[in-house]
Structures are given as C-alpha cells and as structure tokens.
C-alpha cells in the first residue's frame, strides 16, 4: 500500500473522495511538527482555483467521503492534519477532478440506430422537436406498438 488520494465527480454538486495514508507517513508528519502536533486531527479539504476550502475533520479510520463541490470547477483533494492553531498540513493530494456544469448540454446531436443491428447508424438528424411517445399494446393486439 502507498499514500494516495482519488477524487471523482459524482454530479455537478458532489465529489467522491477516497484515500489511503500509511500510518508511517502520518507518524513522520506528527514527529516533524513537534509540539504543534498536539491535538492534531485527521482532516480533508478541497483546493479550487479560488484557494483552499476549510478543512473537514474526519472520524478515526475514515478512508472515503462525499464532499460538496462547485459545478463546472476543478477541485483537488488534500488529506492531512488540522492543527490546533487552525493550520492544515497536507499528507497526500489527489489529481484534479472537474465537476460538470449544472446546465443542460448544448450538444443536441442524436445518433439513431436500428434495434436489430445496434451498430448500424440511421442517417436521420433530430429536428429538436419532441419525440412521439410509443404506447405498448398488450400481447395479442394488432401490433407490438402504436404511435400516439
């Protein structure tokens, strides 16, 4: 096992964070901090382009968490120690993860395929109008579907 952190966008407003920090890594950090390490707590924080966010204290043994995010932004997870004086010491950082924007996609392209041969595209472009609803008819009816 090695020290590592992972951050994945779950949706525009949330990130899934997971991490592993070796006990030896934490111990080295605590020793290097000396007296400042008294009452240090395990914590995580997000870093965005507008700066680091306030740390979130973790329960003992935590290794994953869902975090609030900002849509359409890049985030980095830092796992570390929150010191009594309010400072934060990062032990491991994740690669950046971007949340999607909280808007409807401007991409309106649609690829239609034949149900019998799903890899054969149909050369018809979507007009942007509402697609007609298909109503299923019970077995034994005149056809398997009727357009409404």
Burial class (CB in 10 A: 0-12, 13-18, 19+), 96: middle
| Cα–Cα distance for residue pair 42/80, rounded to 1 Å | 6
Kindly report, residue by residue over 126-136, the tens digit of the pLDDT. Answer: 677 776 766 66
Q: Is residue 147 part of a domain?
A: no
Instruction: Kindly state the helix (H) or strand (E) to which residue 15 belongs, with its residue range.
Output: strand 14-20
Tokens (6 digits) for 100 = 């999607």
Tokens (6 digits) for 68 = 């609030």
Q: Which domain holds residue 14?
A: 4-98
Q: Is residue 70 part of a domain?
A: yes
Is residue 20's pLDDT more than 60? yes
Q: Is residue 143 part of a domain?
A: no
87: CATH: 2.60.40.10
Q: Is residue 125 part of a domain?
A: no
- Token pair 């924007």: residue: 101
Higher pLDDT, 35 or 137: 35
Kindly report, residue by residue over 71-118, the tens digit of the pLDDT. Answer: 999 999 999 999 999 999 999 999 999 999 999 888 888 777 666 665
Q: How many domains, in total, are found in the chain?
A: 1
Higher pLDDT, 129 or 65: 65
pLDDT for 106 equals: 82
Q: Is residue 104 part of a domain?
A: no
Q: Is residue 69 part of a domain?
A: yes
Query: How confident is the model over 20-36, as a mean pLDDT?
Result: 93
Is residue 148's pLDDT more than 50? no
Q: Is residue 92 part of a domain?
A: yes
pLDDT for 130 equals: 73
Q: Is residue 127 part of a domain?
A: no
Tokens (6 digits) for 62 = 């935590």
């Amino acid at each position: 096992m090695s020290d590592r952190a992972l951050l994945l966008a779950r949706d525009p407003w949330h990130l899934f964070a997971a991490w592993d920090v070796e006990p030896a890594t934490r111990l080295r950090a605590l020793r290097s901090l000396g007296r400042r390490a008294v009452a240090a707590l395990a914590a995580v924080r997000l870093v965005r382009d507008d700066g680091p966010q306030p740390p979130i204290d973790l329960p003992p043994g935590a290794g994953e968490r869902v975090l609030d995010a900002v849509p359409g932004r890049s985030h980095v997870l830092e796992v570390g120690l929150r010191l009594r004086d309010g400072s934060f010491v990062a032990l491991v950082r994740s690669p950046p993860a971007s949340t999607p924007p909280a808007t409807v996609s401007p991409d309106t392209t649609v690829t239609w395929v034949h149900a019998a041969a799903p890899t054969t595209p149909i050369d018809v472009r979507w007009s942007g109008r509402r697609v007609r609803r298909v109503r299923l008819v019970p077995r034994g009816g005149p056809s398997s579907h009727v357009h409404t």
